[in-house]
Amino acid sequence: MIQLLLFNKPFQVMSQFSPVDNKSTLADHINIPGIYPAGRLDYDSEGLLLLTAHGRLQQAISHPDFKLAKTYWVQVEGNISQNAINQLTQGVNLKDGLTRPAQCLAIKEPHHLWPRHPPVRYRAQIPTSWIALTIKEGRNRQVRRMTAAVGFPTLRLIRAQIGPWQLGALQPGEQRLLNLDQQSLEQLLNQNLKSKKPNQRSGKGLKNPADRPRAPKGLGARPKLRS
């Protein structure tokens, strides 16, 4: 069986195991040897992070050519307008180019949402609102840049879903280990391949049958388990 760890990354935790500048890291929360994050989640963002010891699964989740849809709950400054939602849906011009079409809906604050520590700065005369934003890209701080570009800066960012995997009832710092069979992995790979244009379907980077994952660039070596 192929193991996949679903982890609710707390606010101000680095998405890596190696120590950095006295900041909290995954090593403070996860004690499973040999696993690596399949992608990243910013230090000041919260929510779903996937980790695995299986190389092909890691690539299927995080490889640039095979981006899974990711859904974020986003608290923004101000009451977001329908015009801004339309812009986010159609694509926003950023410094690194136009974003791909996305799915964006105005939502109420998720009813089961945990309090953040420290909390979002409260300003009595400026309301806030929430959206659910689903994208298939992975640019640096993309969601924050998108909402700022349409006039509604992000105050809080929580990743709720990656592909078929949802955050569910996991609280900050909690984790759930799933066991996937080979058939499930092949279905995921085939689904990603079918979503690509013909000249993108080579599957480059996914042909290696080795199951050993690589530490994503910048994450450093996986530390030894703590006693």
Rg of the chain's alpha carbons, rounded to an integer?
A: 18
Q: How far apart are CA 44 and CA 67, in angstroms?
A: 22
- Which pLDDT value is given to residue 122? 79
- What one-letter code names the amino acid at 112? H
Count the neighbouring beta carbons within 10 Å of the beta carbon of residue 68.
22
Model pLDDT, residue 224 = 44
pLDDT confidence of residue 68 = 87
Contact 140, 25 (CB under 8 A): no
**Nearest CA to 225 among 80, 70, 12, 34?**
34
- Residue 195: its pLDDT value, please? 57
Question: Which tokens go with 73?
Answer: 């709950």
Question: Residue 13 is encoded by which pair of tokens?
Answer: 């935790």
Residue 176 burial (C-beta neighbours within 10 Å; 0-12, 13-18, 19+): middle
116-132 exposure pattern, b = at least 16 Cβ within 10 A, e = fewer: beeeeeeeeeeebbbbb
Pairing relation of β-strands 36-37 and 2-9?
A: unpaired
User: Is 42 a residue of the active site?
Assistant: yes
DSSP 200: G
Tens of pLDDT along the chain (227 residues) come to 899 999 999 999 999 999 999 999 999 999 999 999 999 999 999 999 999 999 989 988 887 677 789 999 999 999 999 999 999 999 999 999 999 999 999 999 998 899 999 999 878 789 999 999 999 998 999 999 999 999 999 999 999 999 999 999 999 999 999 999 888 888 877 776 555 554 444 444 444 444 555 555 545 545 444 43
Q: Are residues 15 and 41 in contact, defined by beta-carbon separation less than 8 angstroms?
A: yes
SS3 content of the chain, % helix, strand, coil (to 5): 20, 25, 55
Which residue do the tokens 């680095």 mark?
14
DSSP tag of 64: G
Report phi then psi at 195, rounded to 5.
-80, -5
Domains located in the chain, CATH noted: 2-67+167-200 (3.30.70.580), 70-162 (3.30.70.1560)
Strand-strand pairing, 97-98 and 93-94: antiparallel
User: Which member of 42, 44, 181, 211 is catalytic?
Assistant: 42
Q: What global pTM score does this model have?
A: 0.86
The confidence score (pLDDT) of residue 184 equals 83
